[in-house]
Amino acid sequence: MTKPANPTPAGLAALAVACFLFFAMLSGAVGTDSLPLIGAWLIGGFVIQLVTAWFDLKAGNNPGGNTFLFFACMFMLAGGIEMFLKYEAAKNGTPLDVTADGFAWLANTLILWGWTPAFCRKFSLLSVIILLVDLALPFLALADLGVLPKWVTQISAYSLLGAGVAAIVLLTMMISKKPKETT
């Protein structure tokens, strides 16, 4: 029986797309009118990362599976739905209090920081990706909480762009590997 292929490159592809989209949004490269499109892409990424998480967890990859599951639900699905809500609020002139987002980003930051050692036992491109996301999240949290000015999200934007590029390099390396011969 053939062993199933590793879906991690697809999960990393979804992460890269999300990182590029967050960069575009946080850097000001796109405006409010782009939020529904960003939401749709994030929800697409949710599906990919959910499948990746399932395969990783089934294979016993506890850190990878749980991280993909966490990213799928908290970053992709919740983020995607939130983009639609923010667009509708902006379109209708309804103010939103993003303080709740700040608390969510703060919890997400602390969770990911707690999981980071599992990915940094040895230096790798994956550890670079995790560390760049680790750098991005607290600035989002503290800006949404009103503790830091909004301009600090530029740090998040460029950290996420770096994480997205690193994810593309890693997934390309993984896909380009010659599969092991099975008998």
Residue with tokens 């699905």, as numbered in its chain: 77
Q: What pLDDT, on the 0 to 100 scale, is given for residue 181?
A: 56
**What single-letter amino acid sits at 182?**
T
- pLDDT for 51 beyond 60: yes
Q: What pLDDT, on the 0 to 100 scale, is given for residue 179?
A: 65
Whether residue 170 lies inside any domain: the answer is yes
Q: Across the chain, what does the average pLDDT equal? A: 94
**What single-letter amino acid sits at 165?**
V
pTM over 0.85: yes
Whether residue 116 lies inside any domain: the answer is yes
- Tens digits of residue pLDDT in 13-39: 999 999 999 999 999 999 999 999 999
Domain of residue 80: give its range. 8-175
Q: What pLDDT, on the 0 to 100 scale, is given for residue 84?
A: 97
Contact yes or no for 26/153 (Cβ under 8 A): yes
Whether residue 183 lies inside any domain: the answer is no
- pLDDT for 182 beyond 70: no
Average pLDDT over residues 146-175: 97
Distance CA 47, CA 65 (A): 14
Average pLDDT over residues 164-171: 98
Whether residue 124 lies inside any domain: the answer is yes
Distance CA 41, CA 21 (A): 9
Find, among 150, 110, 156, 166, the residue nearest to 136 by Cα.
156
Number of domains in the chain: 1
Whether residue 80 lies inside any domain: the answer is yes
